Amino acid sequence: MTDIDSRDAVIAGLKDLATFLEANPEIPVPRQGVTALYFPDRTIDAEMTAEIDQIALRLGSSIDPEDVSYGQYRTGIDFGPVTYEAIAILAAWRAQYEADSSYYGCVVPECTNAA
């Protein structure tokens, strides 16, 4: 599927979902809202952050500096309880996650019976 086809399919799907939910009020919706996430292709940080900066410019939003300390370069916009976010996961954070995950299943805690 091309980017245009993917874009058209997502937009059509969102419209179809809205129409379906409107026609079926007995179907519950998420209380916390809905978030559409976009992640750029994984490449060097400078290229990913430049793409997120361009998205922020188009959205009229800013980069959340607090998220950068957690390895995420993020921007977004809210439409009531619906949010669009564009997020780049920075290389150092990905490397740390992979290192942490490399031990998954290797360390088994000793089971003690509590009284």
Q: How confident is the model at residue 68 (pLDDT cuts 50, 70, 90)?
A: confident
User: What global pTM score does this model have?
Assistant: 0.77
Q: In what order do the strands lie in the sheet with 34-38?
A: 34-38, 82-89, 72-79
Pick from 90, 86, 35: nearest CA to 61: 86
* Whether the Cβ atoms of residue 85 and residue 38 lie closer than 8 Å to each other: yes
pLDDT at 78 over 90: yes
Q: How confident is the model at residue 1 (pLDDT cuts 50, 70, 90)?
A: low
pLDDT of residue 40: 96
Rg (C-alpha) for the chain, rounded Å, is: 20
CA quadruple 51, 9, 34, 81: dihedral sign: positive
Of the ranges 2-11, 56-65, 102-111, the best mean pLDDT one: 56-65
The residues, ordered by sequence, that sit 6+ positions from 77 with a Cβ below 8 Å of its Cβ are 59, 60, 61, 83, 84
